[in-house]
Amino acid sequence: MTKSNAKKQYEKEKTRALTDTGVINFRNRLNLVLEGISGNAFAKKVGMSEAVIRDYLSGKTYPALNRLAIIAQKCDIPIEWLVTGKGECRLLPESKRRSSVHIPFHHLNETNNSYSQIESIPFDVNLIKHQCCDYEDLTAVWAKGDSMEPTISNHDILIINKAHCKPIDGYLYAVEYEDQISIKRIQNQGANLALLCDNPKYPAIIGDKSEPQDFKIIGLVVYLLKDLN
């Protein structure tokens, strides 16, 4: 048997073994174990890198026995179920698992109309995972006024990641200013930090980085839900 044929035979036998034992479906079970949190948050929970967890979730690689033991222990699940899918597990079947979470509106984001009756918004878990967010770090805000037109309109909804408050040029942030929430575009200007409006009718708010600020960055805008009416 040639070296090439031997390699093909080995790969064929490996695939059959992974299939017969149920190991090949490991990534599906690991996705259940994540229970709606991001790959980054899960990696921190089990003490592994996000890249490693990403490879496991994609089926690119499989964890060694010591890492399987760590995941099972940290998540309080049977290692046999994690490896093969056999035995009982505390996790709910996928058909009964929630596909969305409710993101609360920020307490400062009050309105004087019917919108104030809405306390939270349901949001797709997969979209949260796509942004590598932990849903507990998220808050929702209503957009008010036209200072960010045409990007953001009155009554649009924005999802904010409170875990990301370090200003990056050009990105949109929710900012606490004069006891209200505003959405502004951040720009570093040497010794100053500018909060910019997309609508040219409104002036920028300029703050000296060396001085206490009149505003507080709440978090980074990660999703914008447009009101089309």
Q: Among 133, 139, 137, which residue's Cα sits nearest to residue 106?
A: 139
Question: Could you tell me the mean pLDDT of each successive run of 10 residues in the chain, 229 residues long?
Answer: 55 47 67 78 89 88 87 83 72 56 76 58 76 79 91 90 87 85 89 91 87 82 82
The CATH code of the domain at 100-225 is 2.10.109.10
Report the pLDDT value the prediction gives residue 49, as an integer from 0 to 100.
92
Report the pLDDT value the prediction gives residue 114, as an integer from 0 to 100.
47
Q: Which residues pair with 219 in a beta bridge?
A: 174
Report the pLDDT value the prediction gives residue 132, as an integer from 0 to 100.
64
How far apart, in Å, are the Cα atoms of 13 and each of 3, 16, 17? Answer: 15, 5, 6
Rounded distance between C-alpha atoms, residue 36 and residue 34, angstroms = 6
The domain limits of the chain are 3-87, 100-225
In CATH terms, 3-87 corresponds, of 1.10.260.40, 3.40.640.10, 2.50.20.20, 3.40.50.300, to 1.10.260.40
Report the pLDDT value the prediction gives residue 151, as an integer from 0 to 100.
93
pTM of the predicted structure, to 2 decimals = 0.58
Residues in the chain: 229
Report the pLDDT value the prediction gives residue 95, as an integer from 0 to 100.
47
Report the pLDDT value the prediction gives residue 64, as an integer from 0 to 100.
87
Question: In the block, which residue shows the tokens 């949109």?
Answer: 172
Rounded distance between C-alpha atoms, residue 216 and residue 212, angstroms = 10
The dihedrals phi and psi of 38, each to the nearest 5 degrees, come to -75, 160
